Amino acid sequence: DPTAPWWRNAVFYQVYPRSFVDANGDGIGDLAGVRSRLGYLELLGVDAIWLNPVMRSPMADHGYDVSDPRDIDPLFGDIADLEALVADAHARRIRVVMDLVPNHVSVEHRWFRAALEAGPGSRERRRFHFRDGREPDGSAPPNNWPSVFGGPAWTRITEPDGTPGQWYLHVFAPGQPDLNWDDEEVVEDLDKTLRFWLDRGVDGFRIDVAHGMAKPADLPDHEGWETNELLGHSPADPRFNNPEVHDIHRRIRRVFDEYPDSVAIGEIWVDDHERFAEYLRPDELHLAFDFHLTLSDWDADAVRDAIEKGLAAVTSVHASPTWTLSNHDVDREVTRYGGGEVGLARARAMILVALALPGAVFVYNGAELGLPNVDLPDEVLQDPVWERSGHTERGRDGCRVPLPWEGETPPFGFTSAGSAWLPQPPEWSALTVEKQLEDAGSTLSLYRQAIEIRTERRRSISTERRRSEGGGIGWYGSPAGCLAFRRSDGLTCVLNAGDVAVDLPPGEVLLASAPLTGHALPPDTAAWLA
């Protein structure tokens, strides 16, 4: 459909740059590495890539602590490498989306350094959230907010004269001070950053913590957060989803509108549909991540509920849904669905469900290889969550282990260095890209076929028919433990999350996540029919 924006039904491939491919042999993935494997991404059939942050950063949170938003970190390359990647990707008709981090910067950002030196009440401190502490001597944090990574969301600084001083707010790690979005210079600087990269051909941004930039003026305590199960997603959490955040999005959107083909994708953690939909109003974000499927259990009713919630959330504002089974912050789906052969079978079934749904699908690098989470030894863990939680939570490194490309032993062609920045399990020799490309039954082959069928069918269905039918799906009645739906182009998807094989409805099987015997669907399997 030539009139629909490119991102509406796009398959996005999330590249975690540290872990994709290392081109210069330091054991850490980089931009030249990504560029060298664009052929692979074209073969996979994706429409776009989203790169996790590659801007200059001391890497306290692997790039989500940006010290210069208009430069590339030398670990990943330079601006010319980014431009070359964009040009080569475009030549293969692959779009490139970067990660934008507007909620906070690094403690090494020039603004934060200046704020430390300038002292209380200064213009420099107003770009952040500096406050005096409580208790007569200021020795207690200004409020009770917890950091998302554990511990208090406040750190006390030492004033230039050497005395114990004010506290600054960091909803994430201490190396990530929150910006004050009431400061006009903060707002203007983001416009500059957007234009800087969009002028270099970037097709849009995934916006980090897009529900977090606005803070309530008086920074009230977060009542009862210790017992709040929905920490971070709850309407009662004053750290997120404050109404003023929508003014910020409207302002940001004006810059995107100067670049007609660009896309703004928000990372929005909010459980409530109506509040989620507010971010997708026509003058705010184009897309927002829907995490219902990412968080749902292996259970047909839970999956159906996640789909219905996801669709309901966007329909009221005529926006397009998004689906994602995993990302760099959560356990890989193979592991979440039970691990081992069973987890893999279920992950393969679920990608057929996601790719059958209307809207955009995000594939986290390595999911197409069926990689599980890795149980890493303590001494290699790097995620701030591990440190901040006092070693009670292992953090997110287990889903960030570098990809296996080829060969029989680690580092599997990921790097020419002796080892990758996180150790890869030896048994990943069975999961390399090299092996899976040759195997018609591999997870990689399943992804390739599914994406190809999806793209073909989208091209063939007439614009008119798609308009008249809308983006919705129709549900079929199905046996317990199963779900079945039909999309507007006639493709039917059936998932069996139950314990016994079920008969498939009539129709030609286009694709199945496991070999079928006859016209029946075994447990832990999905199929597409026409």
- Return the residue of 85, 97, 209, 354 that touches ligand TEU, per CB under 6 A: 209
Catalytic residues: 208, 258
Binding mask 324-363 toward ligand TEU (x if CB under 6 A, else -) reads ----xx----------------------------------
Cα dihedral 159, 181, 64, 32, rounded to 10, equals -120
Our CB check for ligand TEU shows the closer of 34 and 213 to be 213
Give the phi and the psi of residue 274 in degrees, each rounded to 5. -65, -40
Q: Could you say which DSSP state residue 504 is in?
A: P
Q: Does 291 bind ligand TEU (CB under 6 A)?
A: no
Q: How far apart are CA 382 and CA 106, in angstroms?
A: 17
Least distance (Å) between residue 295 CB and ligand TEU: 11
Least distance (Å) between residue 101 CB and ligand TEU: 6
- Nearest residue to ligand TEU on Cβ basis: 64
Centre a 10 Å sphere on the Cβ of residue 285 and count the other Cβ atoms it contains: 23
Q: Does 412 bind ligand TEU (CB under 6 A)?
A: no
The DSSP element (H or E) to which 90 belongs, if any, is helix 79-91
In the list Ca ion, ligand TEU, none, the entry touching 73 (Cβ below 5 to 8 angstroms by class) is none
Q: Which amino acid is at 453?
A: I
Least distance (Å) between residue 214 CB and ligand TEU: 15
Q: Does 207 bind ligand TEU (CB under 6 A)?
A: no
User: According to DSSP H, which parts of 180-320 are helical?
Assistant: 184-198, 245-256, 273-278, 292-295, 300-315
Q: Does 210 bind ligand TEU (CB under 6 A)?
A: no
Q: Which residue has the tokens 């959330």?
A: 313
> CB-hemisphere CA count at 13 Å for 155?
17
Binding site for Ca ion (CB under 5 A): 22, 24, 26, 28, 30
Least distance (Å) between residue 18 CB and Ca ion: 9
In the list Ca ion, ligand TEU, none, the entry touching 30 (Cβ below 5 to 8 angstroms by class) is Ca ion
- Return the residue of 148, 287, 354, 473 that touches ligand TEU, per CB under 6 A: 148
Q: With H, G, I as helix, E, B as strand and everything else as coil, classify residue 513.
A: coil
Antiparallel, parallel or unpaired: β 509-512 and 492-496: unpaired
Our CB check for Ca ion shows the closer of 414 and 528 to be 414
In the list Ca ion, ligand TEU, none, the entry touching 276 (Cβ below 5 to 8 angstroms by class) is none
Q: Does 321 bind ligand TEU (CB under 6 A)?
A: no
| Sign of the torsion formed by the C-alpha atoms of 101, 105, 108 and 113 | positive
Q: Does 130 bind ligand TEU (CB under 6 A)?
A: no
Q: Does 61 bind ligand TEU (CB under 6 A)?
A: yes
CA distances for 237 relative to 142, 144, 369, angstroms: 16, 12, 37
Check: CB of residue 501 under 8 Å from CB of residue 522: yes
Q: Does 177 bind ligand TEU (CB under 6 A)?
A: no
Check: CB of residue 441 under 8 Å from CB of residue 515: yes
Contact residues toward ligand TEU (CB under 6 A) are 61, 64, 101, 148, 172, 208-209, 232, 267, 269, 328-329, 385
